[in-house]
Amino acid sequence: MKELYVVLFEGKVRERESKREVKKRIISRFNIDPPQAERLFSGHRMVVFRSEERDKTDDFAKRFTETGALCRIEPESIHGPTAEASGEDPGAPHEAPNTSSSQRDVPPVQYGESSPYLALWEAYAGPRGDWYAERFKRFTQKGTPAFAPSWNWSAFLFGIVWLIYRKMYRWALLLFGVSMAGIVIPGGSLAISFFFGAFANFLYFLHVKKKVDIIISESDHIDSDQAIKERGGVNPLPKVLALFLLMMGIMALFGSYLFDFATIANI
């Protein structure tokens, strides 16, 4: 079972501190660009850091407050703050407690239908993220990631194109290699397509989970929600088409050599 802790920032700074100066320190210390800093100071309730480790969260909050900004740490749980900026009145801000401060009992974050991870996975998936989140629930119903039957028509019909579109490049190369091998087996390509259609959602879930975990674990990252959206999502169609045509060209070349070899062997 895991717990998540988040550092919340509402654009407030300490007394006698200038917002302009604090903004400059944050840009310099955390290596973010000015537009992103402006977004942090928009006045909305923002998650600027998220981690499963309390020590890392405390360390980040300490470094963040050293710039003159006011933040606080809260648990992210089933009833805790969400990954998106909230429009509710958050109350008076206060500095984040350090490790010696008293801590509340935090309900453990579990996989399942109410897991806060689902919102992060949905955000990473981008287009049709809600559809994929519903499938991801099936893989976490037992409390730990586990395969469950599902079907993906896009993966079945388009295979490599779908993988490139979803930024799963290693799986695209693997499927490309398997597809090339399937050429020489009667009915092999159709069997591969059926197999992939049945397992594609689970493979995508493992991919999304791994990427989101990496983003969460980055101790110096500001605004992990923005990073999830930037690194996730899908490839633009021109890039998908270019990579697909390149792979098909290689496969056609392989097929022509295979055909010539078979012709020679029959002579």
Backbone angles phi, psi at 134, to 5 degrees: -65, -40
Asked if the model's pLDDT at residue 52 lies above 50, the reply is: yes
Query: What does pTM read for this prediction?
Result: 0.57
Residues 6+ apart with CB under 8 A from 83: 47, 50, 76, 116, 119, 120, 123, 224, 225, 228
Tell whether the model's pLDDT for residue 116 goes beyond 80: no
Locus of tokens 């958050």? 90
- pLDDT bin (cut points 50, 70, 90) of residue 2 is low
Give percent of the chain with pLDDT exceeding 90: 23
Strands of 69-76's sheet, edge to edge?
A: 46-51, 4-13, 69-76
Q: What number is the average pLDDT over the span 225-232?
A: 76
pLDDT score at 41: 86
Distance CA 120, CA 129 (A): 10
pLDDT tens, position by position, 8-40: 898 899 988 898 899 989 888 888 878 778 888
What is the pLDDT of the chain when averaged over all its residues? 76
CA gap 5, 53 in Å, rounded: 7
Q: Does 86 have pLDDT greater than 50?
A: no
Rounded mean pLDDT, 170-184: 81
Burial degree of 31 (CB within 10 A; 0-12, 13-18, 19+): exposed
Least confident piece of the model among 20-29, 33-42, 81-90, 250-259: 81-90
Query: For the stretch 145-154, what's the b/e string if a residue is b when 16 or more beta carbons lie within 10 angstroms of its beta carbon?
Result: eeeeebebee
Compare 18 and 227 and report the one with higher pLDDT: 18
Model confidence at 89: pLDDT above 60: no
pLDDT score for 200: 95
Report the amino acid identity of residue 258.
L
Question: Helix 129-139 to helix 117-125 angle, to the nearest 10 degrees?
Answer: 140
Highest mean pLDDT among 5-14, 25-34, 135-144, 225-234: 5-14
* 48, 40 contact by CB (below 8 A): yes
Helix, strand, coil percent values for the chain (each to nearest 5): 55, 10, 35
Mean predicted confidence (pLDDT) in 132-137? 92
> Which range scores top for mean pLDDT: 16-20, 166-170, 186-190?
166-170
pLDDT at 106: 33
